Amino acid sequence: MAQSAQKNYQLTLPPAEVSRLASRVWQDYKAAIADHNRKLNRFVEYYRRWRAMPDEPAIGEEEASNFSVPLIRWNAITRLAKEMDSILGDDAEVVAVPTGPSDYRRVKKIGRYMTWLVINQMKLTRPLAEFIVRKLLFGRSVAYSPWQRDAFEGPKGKEIVDYEGPGFTPLWPDDFIVPAEEVRTLHDFSFVIRRYRVRPDELLKGEREGRYQGIEEDFANLVNTSQRGLQREFEGEEVKLTADEAEGILYQRPLSSGESLMVLEWHGKWRMLLDGETDGDEYDFTKREMDQTELVVRYLWDANKVVGIQNLAELYPGMRQRRPFVESAFLPEGRYWCPGICELLVDAEDELRVNHNKATDGIDLSVNPPLMVRPGSGMDPEKQRIEPGKLIYTDNPATDARQLEVHTDVALVQWKEQTILAYVERVTGETDLGMGRQSDRPNAPRTARQTLALLEQGNVHTSLFTKLLAEDMSDMLQHFWLLDYWFAPDKTFFRVTEDDADGLFAVKDGGAWIDNEDRDGRYDFRLKFANSVWSREADKERTLARYQIDMQNPMILQNPKALWRVTNDVHAALGDPNFAALVPEPPDPDLPVDPKEEWNRLLQGEEIQVNPLDNDELHLMRHQRDLQEAEADPDRDPDAFRKLAAHYLQQIQQLQHKKVVQAMAEQAAAAIQKLGAAGALPPGALQALQNFPGLGAPGGNPQAQPASVFPQTPPVSHEQ
């Protein structure tokens, strides 16, 4: 299953074929950049809004108000906070969903392992924040996610592995180049190109690890080329150039940068040459295969050199979608480049900006209105500034100077601002209360019930985005699992507590081991999101209300296990997770289990026992049917089948034992009746013996008697 990270999968092709691939990568890159210029320019504007980079004022308006209302920023930050809290919150976890009949026994272990891998081992907090921010700004975010192995040289030349697992590197829109095709996912494009920069020493190390080829033989030329290259291209990196401007650092031609080369990593389809052929036109099917092969070609732009050709089917065997990328869309609507927060709110932010700046100009005019002066009055506005208490000399103040009165209606400005924000709330569902601030609207809720109703309506929008995020996260988790399945070591240690294991798998020294046998299963994955503050408060109120009702229910008060569970839930909702440590959970009551449920428990890897209160004949009928169906199923769980067969024999033994005991009880009862009739028993002894369990029971087969005849047996309903 696991493959060696050091294995070389490089393809050795004829020089003419390598040259054709280099030309193909160059042409695809230039054509895709030209097709996406308008999209990149729009992304530049969105990023300027995010970094609060207003346009330069027109000539003569340098002193005018030019404030940018941060509508896009506060909505993006709010959405970022909610998604990060949902994914990486305290009670978030990965849930494994088994798809095969024999995978139920390990589902808990797989889920705990994936939770540790994604939330703890991969250290996703910062890269995931970058990933979500770019999704919010640009509508879609893509991350490069191959199997990653980070190692360094330790003492005495020993290699120390710092991290080995699925990678997750968010990409700028500039660095993910795709053709202009109508598709739904990145795996449907005819090709995708990842652009990245690398140092010559990283190329040399990558050649030793199998990612590159032809580096050592041309290393001197590569080093020389890397010292005079650009850090930013003039075309195709507009968003990153804008980020450089916002950051205030010149990355395009820096004086202090080190060596670097730009790599175009092309993931596309190519028709390979037939055996024995050394060259041929790309569409000459007499020399080429008709079926296309998925390749990854790494092309050094600065040196015009192909430094890697690999077959994706060999790199990622067993994976249907072999391109090592994951993606997420903000609001999928049938197009690959879907809208984001910026596209939804850019018009509203423009209108708020104009409204705010007009109000600022109006307030300035009302505070410092224009002054009309007679030319011959002797007053020079350029030299005499109007200030409080300033003495200004004029011939006749009543006629030589006059100040205009300007009245600014701020109420109209506030009305327009509130109207625009109301439109924004209708689009995003993010209210003032949902953002954690007091509402200043004239129609703000006045009661707690109105506030909760407003929050609940806002949660409808939040639920929509959460469902979309959950779908994308499921795809990413499946990708991480497949990478781990194919490339992880045969045995991996992960951190987990005994409470998390629930006794379903062995835990020792603060963790457990997962091996190839555990990984050999078919699973889907979903992320159980962490509860928000509002959800936790609502759950607390519902739990307390349920506790008050349960405390009046005699069925719960007379059942120690049910009473313990209700009390434990209340303590957990109030923030006390240690109730189980103080008060151990009582054992399960000795009650019979439905035979259908027994088979389900065996499939999930649990143990079952026969119960003296079982309706044995009914259990045997159900178990016999389950055994017949399992025997006819080629994909049956052999361990569960074996345990059910053993349980079936135990049920037969219990039925036979009950019949023997019943026959002995009937004989004893008849003998006692004779002794009583003969007067051989002491007074009262007959009544005492008849009240003894078993001897006083009615005659006949207990399996054929109704449950009400046996008062010591509680009635149990079984489903066939």
Structural domain of 266:
1-35+178-323
End-to-end CA distance of the chain: 42
What percent of the chain is predicted at pLDDT more than 70?
Answer: 81
Residue 719 in this model has a pLDDT that exceeds 80: no
Average pLDDT of 686-709? 47
Q: Are 573 and 602 within one domain? A: no
Confidence of residue 661 (pLDDT cuts 50, 70, 90): confident
Regarding whether 192 and 315 lie in a shared domain, the answer is: yes
Statement to judge: residues 551 and 639 lie in one domain: no
* 387 vs 239 pLDDT, higher one: 239
pLDDT-derived band at 400, boundaries 50, 70, 90 = low
Q: Left if phi > 0, otherwise alpha if psi is -120 to 50, otherwise beta: which for 264?
A: beta
- The Cα–Cα gap between 207 and 201 comes to 10
| Same domain, residue pair 552 and 612 | no
The string of pLDDT tens digits covering residues 534-565 is 666 777 888 888 888 988 888 888 888 888 88
β-strand pairing of 140-144 with 325-329: antiparallel
Strand (E) or helix (H) holding 296 = strand 293-300
Model confidence at 78, in pLDDT bands (50, 70, 90)?
confident
Kindly state whether residues 574 and 613 are assigned to the same domain: no
Q: What is the pLDDT of residue 14?
A: 93
Instruction: Give pLDDT tens digits for 227-238.
Output: 876 788 888 899
Instruction: Decide which of 334 and 101 is more confident.
Output: 334
* Residue 287 included in any domain: yes
Is the pLDDT confidence value at 709 over 50?
no
pTM for this predicted structure? 0.74
Amino acid at 480: F
| Position with higher pLDDT, 354 vs 466 | 354
- Give the lowest-confidence range in 102-106, 191-195, 298-302, 374-378: 374-378
Residues 677 and 600 reside in one and the same domain = yes
Domain closes at, from 285, 301, 323: 323
Please give the Cα distance from 592 to 716 (Å, whole number). Answer: 7
Q: For residue 622, is it left (φ>0), alpha (ψ between -120 and 50) or beta?
A: alpha
In tens, the pLDDT along 20-54 reads: 999 999 999 999 999 999 999 999 999 999 998 87
641 lies in a domain? yes
Contact between 84 and 128 under an 8 Å Cβ cutoff? The reply is yes
CA–centroid distance for 552 within its chain: 41
Tell me if 105 is assigned to some domain: no
Tokens coding 249: 């650092």
H or E segment and range at residue 349? helix 341-367
Selected residue with higher pLDDT from 628 and 396: 628
pLDDT at 713 over 70: no
Cα–Cα distance, 390 to 411 (Å, whole number):
32
User: Do the domain assignments include residue 382?
Assistant: no
CB neighbour list of residue 628: distance below 8 Å, 6 or more residues apart: none
Out of 100-109, 117-126, 128-137, 604-613, least confident range = 100-109
Within a domain: 457: no
Q: Is 556 in the same domain as 663?
A: no
Q: How confident is the model at residue 67 (pLDDT cuts 50, 70, 90)?
A: confident
Q: Let me know if residue 193 belongs to a domain.
A: yes
- Nearest-angstrom CA–CA distance, 476 and 203: 28
Last residue of a domain, one of 289, 323, 357: 323
Count of CB atoms within 10 A of residue 431's CB?
21
Q: What is the mean pLDDT of residues 628-636?
A: 85
Residue 350 lies in a domain: no
Across the chain, mean pLDDT equals 82
Of 598, 7, 656, 708, residue with least CA distance to 311? 7
Torsion of CA 406, 407, 413, 415, to 10 degrees: -160
Where does a domain end: 303, 323, 343? 323
What is the number of domains present in the chain?
3
The residue ranking higher by pLDDT, 366 or 193, is 193
Q: Which pLDDT does position 708 carry in this prediction?
A: 37
Least confident of 73-82, 402-411, 432-441, 645-654: 432-441
**pLDDT tens digits, one per residue of 133-192:** 999 999 999 999 999 988 888 887 788 888 999 999 999 999 999 999 999 999 999 999
- Residues 642, 624: one domain? yes
Highest mean pLDDT among 438-447, 542-551, 679-688: 542-551
Beta strands of 386-502 (E only): which ranges?
401-403, 491-495
User: Does 397 reside within a domain?
Assistant: no
Evaluated on CA atoms 608, 610, 615, 618, the torsion sign reads positive
Q: What is the pLDDT of residue 378?
A: 62
Same domain, yes or no: 261 and 294: yes
Whether residues 573 and 662 fall in one domain: no
Q: Are residues 201 and 311 in the same domain?
A: yes
* Contact in structure between 503 and 477 (CB atoms under 8 Å): no
561 and 662 co-located in one domain: no
